[in-house]
């Protein structure tokens, strides 16, 4: 059985990760930047995260059809 997170739990976990890695100020800054202007994550990922460099570390692991940067 797959354990699905609620939207609220996912938001909390995401903020905790941002704060842990960026600190409080830059985590807040990141969220503000993402909300400030229209942003298409899929287009950004395709142009800024070449699949070959990302996937090279996961040889032999089955990934979903939608790569994540």
Query: Residue 66: is its pLDDT beyond 60?
Result: no
Q: Residues 6 or more apart from 20 whose CB is under 8 A from it?
A: none
Q: What is the DSSP string of 4-34?
A: PPPHHHHHHHHHHHHHHHHHHHHHHHHHHHH
pTM: 0.56
pLDDT, one tens digit per residue, over 17-58 is 999 999 999 999 999 988 898 888 888 888 877 665 555 555
Domain ranges across the chain: 7-49
């Amino acid at each position: 059985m797959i354990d699905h997170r609620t939207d609220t739990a996912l938001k909390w976990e995401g903020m905790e990760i941002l704060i842990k890695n960026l600190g409080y100020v830059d985590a807040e800054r990141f969220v503000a930047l993402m909300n400030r202007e229209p942003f298409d994550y899929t287009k950004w990922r395709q142009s800024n995260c070449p699949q070959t460099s990302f996937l090279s570390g996961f040889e032999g692991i089955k990934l979903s059809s939608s790569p994540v940067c």
